[in-house]
Amino acid sequence: MASDTIDTEYRASIFPARPFGSPPSEGEDHQWGPIFFLFGQAMLWAQGYGDGMARLVVAAEDRWQRSGISTEKIRRMSLGQLQKEYARYCHLKPHHLKRMAEVLKVRNAIAHNFYRRRMARLESAEGREQVIRELHEAIYLFQTERDEMYWLLSALTGQPLR
């Protein structure tokens, strides 16, 4: 027990400005690994969704030439810009627009200042569990929407899903 206290005090002295309070004890360490992993997975799936949407917009522009935007410019668009461009080619109902707005909101909440915005929750074990659930839900949302984008891309291009 004394070695744990010494180790914790030592780490706290080396990293006194740690943003989430004192260094985690061994009992808390099991939550940080999944948070870091799930954060990476959420961003991976969000990028997969954005990539699918960009590919779909490129394919739609190649087919219908509605905006005259180059492939290079489409690939550099932000997710919000891609969604607006996507709406040019599809007849979207209100629930589609609402879902796209939700995906953008969740993606931005994770991509921009994720840890800073959740600092208070990350200081407790219960709060970290909430963050873990939030990340699981985001991953599921991004996976579902990414699959939809690639299914639509397959339908538009006639290419099989890969």
Q: What is the pLDDT of residue 13?
A: 54
This prediction's pTM? 0.79
Can you tell me the distance from the alpha carbon of 138 to that of 144, in angstroms, rounded to the nearest whole number? 10
DSSP at 56: H
CB under 8 Å to 42, separation ≥6 — which residues? 110, 135, 138, 139, 142
Q: How does pLDDT run across 81-121, given as a tens digit for each residue?
A: 999 999 888 888 999 999 999 999 999 999 998 988 998 89
